[in-house]
A and B are shown apart, each in its own frame.
Chain A
């Protein structure tokens, strides 16, 4: 450091900061002394010990859920060359991550049936917000219809995203079977948002009706998907979706809710209105196949205030995890996991039904609503004492309702054990 200062003709480090006016200078930060690596690790371990994990306490929470992540996925995203790189502005030094992103886009398009996918939004909620803005850019209309049964947090984010464009967001009620009503009389609709499976876990099967409604309203169709569900059920292209969003949780740990991965895909004709980064294939100067970011004129670093979105940093490494997960499971593995998810969830619902829960909607994937014969909140607290974390209380949507999430990690043993505890707890409450 001395040598460098001397080279600059400076006597002390302080001189480097003399451009900062004295009135605003501070004398260092009021923080602790630096700590050794071991100290830091021990301190944080001690704090995190206070958490209870899925293994300490089986949990049945929905929206994002624990899934098994093969070891090889972790190895891949732990490659320094990937995780210590940044956005691949220099294509020649970034062919690896660019190809992985291109593969991710390909997998998303295969799963959703769409023509183009970007390399992520932050999560499904911000993806929905961006989708609403994109629909507005495409048809200029201001009204968006969303289901009344949408996770409140997702709705709140979407409303925030739609504020600037002064979009009107209108909620559509659901029917007795838990599905969104398609009996809609609205004018000037920019887009209609349908979830499949929806917030209640219910699978959508009204392909023709949705398509017809979309045509009648002359609106764009935004569909919220679950990537695992798409391994066994038809993609939203079957009912003419224009934009597809979703939570890309495959290969990504829960991590207390982040980082997540916002899936974002659309029909190819709308590619110029898409937010976020897109990778394309091309050739190098020798005519060899190569990859690079493309259509960047949509983006903020070029278009500034006129960009399709403000997004810069995204969730790129989560895309790598997603594509690695899908690659290692393959078509057969994905299907198998998807089927196990649905089976386990239905098994649990049946068992709960036997002990007195009401299961209002039977046509679900891996999340379902159950209404206990006792107070749901009281029940959840009681079983927590017994070492089980129940589902999400959704009293605001369904009186005394609980939304359960079940995956391949909820084995028969875990479900049986949990249902026994539910029964016990119900006895005690009565």
Chain B
């Protein structure tokens, strides 16, 4: 059966050839190597050893909530009872999956104070898009679709917010922040009967809780617009308050942040969307219903926006989040407490070492420091980030949010010990006192030295075929 490279690919299946196998559509060339399992395992193991994950060490990537992923979640999701279950099976044969989804929706309602959820969106940004499509459908239903064309976002918002609003067809208006929070005056100036929604994350990307949230909600409602909650930072307020109580109409959650499902090198995540009762009818189909003891998929939703992904979302991720919530229960509140404590502790340590923290007051689960005063020495945030790698730390998010110069956005999460935080702070202090050349040339101890990203952009070598153009 080992065909040679130029041998016709299909000559071994005569029976099929008789029926339908025109020569002109048969593939003649396929340049994929034949390797042994041993070679493949060795290769990928070697690659994994050149990769840094949460299990490797401290990963304070701000806004991404790189918390520990309990191993129980992984084992549960490897169950054959989900791996070999097809999404289009007869409802009677997938009651287990439907039950998990139904119960998870209810848990999310309690945690967020919303009335109904859809688990279909596959990531946070996907949830935002879904939320914006719901917003659009709602105003179209009200007959205001042609008027409500603006979505407002603060300048500290995640880039996905304006991008998602734009994708759903809205004009995006960005408003400046004041003292690290929403500037009510600026907000009022742009709010009008053309506003469809105001998108906000609370606590915001500086880690500051928007204490005027009720006033903000009032102003937004006054013009008949919706208030959208970007759930990226929900981790900070679990059990302390709820988006539903703050006056939000639509929320999305990031299960790979708040609910401990792994980030997978960039995904898959999950971005369920929750709404207040009056928006429920616009949620994607199918909805999961319970009739007696049976769970059902309900497609009969005439006002629904339709579908946002092929089936019901990233089910295996949903299952992991369900396991996490079962395990934590009431103690989810403690998650927020420890996360906020860790963040304030690390911020204070860094402050005492002389690092500049723009804006006063306590923070929630994350904080942003500015390394702008190192610039006169010629040191950039990027240099400090790269040097951190040499000390075994994953750097924080850099150059975001955009409103802070030379930003270092730090989110320690609840799982880190005081020792780790102390060590990180000490290392930061040590690094900024190091010789500038050491920083400029960092990292020194990684599998590769500083990677030339500008060259990658210029050369555009995007497959192995082009690799010879590298030299």
Contact = CB atoms under 8 A, between A and B. Distances in A.
26 contacts: A16-B344, A29-B111, A31-B330, A34-B329, A40-B76, A63-B88, A64-B87, A80-B56, A81-B52, A83-B263, A89-B397, A100-B47, A106-B464, A125-B310, A256-B315, A257-B312, A258-B312, A259-B317, A285-B450, A286-B449, A288-B449, A292-B451, A303-B159, A303-B163, A310-B167, A313-B266
Given A83-B53, A328-B40, A335-B3, A99 B47 contact: yes
Given A79-B48, A304-B163, A335-B9, A280 B459 contact: yes
A123 B463 contact: no
Interface in A292-331: 292, 294-295, 299-307, 309-318, 320, 324, 326-328, 330-331
B60 to A, nearest CB: 12
Nearest to A314: B267
Contacts of B53: 80-85
A94 B265 CA distance: 9
Given A278-B462, A304-B159, A335-B3, A53 B267 contact: no
A360 interface: no
Given A80-B53, A281-B459, A282-B453, 6 more contacts: A52-B89, A78-B74, A256-B312, A281-B461, A310-B126, A318-B268
Given A26-B240, A105-B462, A85 B54 contact: yes
A52 B25 CA distance: 39
A90 B389 contact: yes
Interface stretch (A179-187, A212-220, A338-346, A411-419): A338-346
A141 interface: no
Interface stretch (A155-163, A168-176, A421-429): A155-163
B86 A66 contact: yes
A120 B267 contact: yes
Smallest CB-CB A-B distances: 3 pairs: A257-B311, A257-B87, A317-B264
A25 interface: yes
A45 interface: yes
Nearest to B307: A156
B310 A257 contact: yes
A75 B42 CA distance: 11
A106 B389 contact: no
B19 interface: yes
Contacts of A205: 22, 24-25
A268 to B, nearest CB: 7
A50 interface: yes
B172 interface: yes
B32 A334 contact: yes
B188 interface: no
Contact of A88 (B110, B158, B266, B340): B266
A124 to B, nearest CB: 6
A256 B169 contact: no
A300 B163 contact: yes
Interface in B41-55: 41, 43-55
Given A40-B72, A163-B168, A305-B166, A123 B333 contact: no
Q: How large is the interface on A (under 10, 10 to 19, 20 to 34, 35 or more residues)?
A: 35 or more
Contacts of B331: 34
Contact of B330 (A33, A109, A310): A33
Contact of A95 (B50, B450, B456): B50
A258 B314 contact: yes
Interface in A23-70: 23-26, 28-35, 37, 40-41, 43-45, 47-55, 57, 59, 61, 63-66, 70
B85 A122 contact: no
A305 B168 CA distance: 11
Interface in A260-302: 260, 268, 271, 277-286, 288-292, 294-295, 299-302
Given A19-B362, A83-B53, A328 B452 contact: no
A139 B43 CA distance: 42
Contact of B306 (A21, A159, A328): A159
B395 interface: yes
A58 to B, nearest CB: 11
B265 A320 contact: yes
A203 interface: yes
Nearest to B202: A20
Given A41-B72, A87-B266, A94 B51 contact: yes
A50 B126 contact: no
A331 B34 contact: yes
B375 interface: no
B83 A255 contact: yes
B97 interface: yes
A362 interface: yes
Contacts of A120: 267
Interface string B347-385: 011000000000001101000000000000000000001
Given A156-B306, A232-B26, A256-B94, A44 B326 contact: yes
B24 A47 contact: no
A17 B208 CA distance: 11
B455 A282 contact: yes
B423 interface: no
A188 B319 CA distance: 45
B470 A289 contact: yes
A288 B443 CA distance: 14
B265 A283 contact: no
B462 A326 contact: no
Contacts of A257: 86-88, 310-313, 315
Contact of B81 (A8, A53, A91, A96): A53
Interface string B148-166: 0000000000111011111
